[in-house]
Amino acid sequence: MKRALFLGIDAGGTHCRARLVDGDGKTLGSGDAGPANLTLGARQAHTSIMAASTAALADAGLARSAFRRTHLAIGAAGADDPAAVEALAAQSLPFASVTIRSDAVTACIGALGDDDGGLLIVGTGSQGIVRHKGRFHRVGGWGFMLSDHGSAAMLGHAALRHALAAHEGVVEASLLSRRIMRRFGNAPVRMLAWSHQLTPGDWGAFSPVVFACAESGDAAAQRLVDQAVGDVTRLLDRMVELGAQSIVLVGGLANRYAKRLPRRLARRLVAPRRDALAGAIDLAREAAGA
């Protein structure tokens, strides 16, 4: 197994990250690429995964021929859909072995090791995962159209809906609505054309504006933040009901929410031991029998 290599992939809605290690666990290289959420389609995910993988090998000073001795494990957003996983697996993946799991599972393995507990991802999307007595239980994470409560994408979407309603006089204009509408030249038709080609990451890009306006005292932005905090609180409460005594909060909005949670939940938060890439590498080593 000394010659075997292990590649972990964290395939998210905004970025795809890769880490390559040797048989001793030493990091050899890393790479990144664009969105790889399986809801964007197997072709998009495959393109980003291969780009990040190739970059990791190049960073390690290795040629693409090293793929043949590399065991790959992918933690992918959207991997809870068996059809999406099957479509990705059908793509050309020239590795010694390939394992595809949910990004929440790989993040949970990385964060908790072999211990029970929970992990909630709040980034472009959102999903909770609880490991209790060796079994995994999910909470949310069914994608932008059905779920992803408290995510950056949902918060950004709510902000644009508010901005358009305020522009038309349906609700009172606010600092948030004015800032967003200025990005579209105060033209709803431009907003409409833009909305037809969005990914969850594009919606999520507006979430920092919401938090900035809320911190500047804008009441409308604060209401949206409060609603998002309420969504995250309900997810965490359910995770506690499923047996999570300690919970790791990760993702681009983790720090934003951590300081706004009720005390009963804030005291359950613990730091992750490792990251999602480490969890994926664990799965790659398991598949190789290493």
Whole-angstrom Cα distance, residue 233 to residue 96?
Answer: 42
Whole-angstrom Cα distance, residue 211 to residue 189?
Answer: 26
**Burial tier of 42 (Cβ tally within 10 Å: 0-12, 13-18, 19+):** middle
Contact criterion met (CB below 8 Å) for 257 and 230: no
pLDDT, tens digit (0-9, with 9 covering 90-100), for 31-79: 999 999 898 899 999 999 999 999 999 999 999 999 999 999 999 988 8
Structure tokens at 231: 């969504």
Position 2 pLDDT exceeds 60: no
* Confidence (pTM): 0.83
Looking at residue 115, what DSSP letter applies?
A: S
pLDDT, tens digit (0-9, with 9 covering 90-100), for 97-113: 999 999 889 999 999 98
**Complete domains list, the chain, with CATH:** 5-113+274-288 (3.30.420.40), 115-271 (3.30.420.40)
> What SS3 state is found at 268?
coil
Whole-angstrom Cα distance, residue 227 to residue 233?
Answer: 10
